[in-house]
Amino acid sequence: MHPQTSPAPAPAATTVPPDVESPSSPELPPRLPGFRGSFAWGLVRALRPRQWVKNVLVLAAPLAAGEIFNAEVMRPTAVAFVLFCLSASAVYLVNDTIDVEEDRRHPRKRFRPIAAGIVPRWLAVAMATVLFTIALVTAVLLTRPELAFVLASYVVIQLAYCVFLKNQPVIDLAVVASGFLLRGIAGGVAAGLLLSQWFLLVAAFGSLFMVAGKRYSELVLVGDAAATRKTLKEYSASYLRFVWSLSAGVAVTAYSLWAFELGETQDGIPWSTISIAPFVMAILRYAVDVDKGAAGAPEEIVLRDRVLLCLGVLWVATMAMGVFDV
């Protein structure tokens, strides 16, 4: 007879906290040493302050209207810039919270604070709610209620994108481009300026050009496209090339029509007409980066490419001289 043995005790049940990932989740990247890997620095990075440079677009409408040196215009425009920074950061927090699993499969996005497990998801959502509220209330109190409407539209559209529109081919391109367009509209609305049809066309299709370039870069650089962004499997490189070519063509045409129209009212040197040259050259230079698959972050391309930056400065200078009829 065999001696009676008692069954082995069952392993104790364990509970996994919400912010601790299961073994099936993508592996978390190693934390950076020192302050760069700290919780405090993670909170700052989660707001994506480097992308606040996009919000300089709120100055476009006052510049195009020739009112950029008007104190009564610049005060609400400056407020609009700050409030768009808050709103954009709130959207980034929500987006990174929703896309945390997909970001962990991306070679660069996996180092974002929320994807890396540095900032808890619940805290990111709480911060986003506070930033949304501050932006909307401040817009009504310090500028015009119309700015609050623009900010609310931006937030709603971007949240819809985070939840379901990002998976809709073509629609996702338009939604991301609308974020750039609304930045331009915000500057005019905050200051009470009338926005021209040419300004809206250039802003809309210029934004679509940059977004198509960003998607093309993601398609080229990421091997498993569907794992990081589902709509990428619906796009081909040739289609995205077509989108950015079409967008660039419409933007250049609209800008040229505006420049010629403004040039007819000017005396002396037609600076507005001359500004077409650096505008077109800047687009062509940016297209070089797009074609290389290096346009993942438009603000980084502009700041890193010195030739493109110089062309941009030259374009703004000639356009400003045309607007102010120097």
Per-residue model confidence as pLDDT tens digits over 135-154: 999 999 998 889 999 999 99
From CA 105, how far away is CA 92, in angstroms rounded?
A: 18
Q: How many CA atoms lie within 13 A of 277 on its CB side?
A: 7
What confidence score (pLDDT) does residue 58 get? Answer: 92
From CA 85, how far away is CA 135, in angstroms rounded?
A: 9
Q: What distances in angstroms separate CA 88 from CA 20, 76, 158, one per listed residue?
A: 27, 18, 9
From CA 279, how far away is CA 311, in angstroms rounded?
A: 8
- What is the SS3 assignment for 180? helix
- CB count within 10 Å of CB 66 equals 15
The helix (run of H) or strand (run of E) holding residue 146 is helix 145-163
From CA 104, how far away is CA 71, in angstroms rounded?
A: 46
Provide the sign of the torsion angle of the four alpha carbons 220, 224, 229, 234, taken in this order: positive
Higher pLDDT, 265 or 243: 243
pLDDT tens, position by position, 292-322: 766 556 667 777 788 999 999 999 999 989 8
From CA 157, how far away is CA 239, in angstroms rounded?
A: 25
What confidence score (pLDDT) does residue 28 get? Answer: 62
Mean pLDDT of 124-145: 92
pLDDT tens, position by position, 253-298: 999 999 998 877 777 788 999 999 999 999 999 888 888 766 556 6
Least confident of 112-116, 170-174, 239-243: 112-116
Tokens (6 digits) for 168:
């809709």
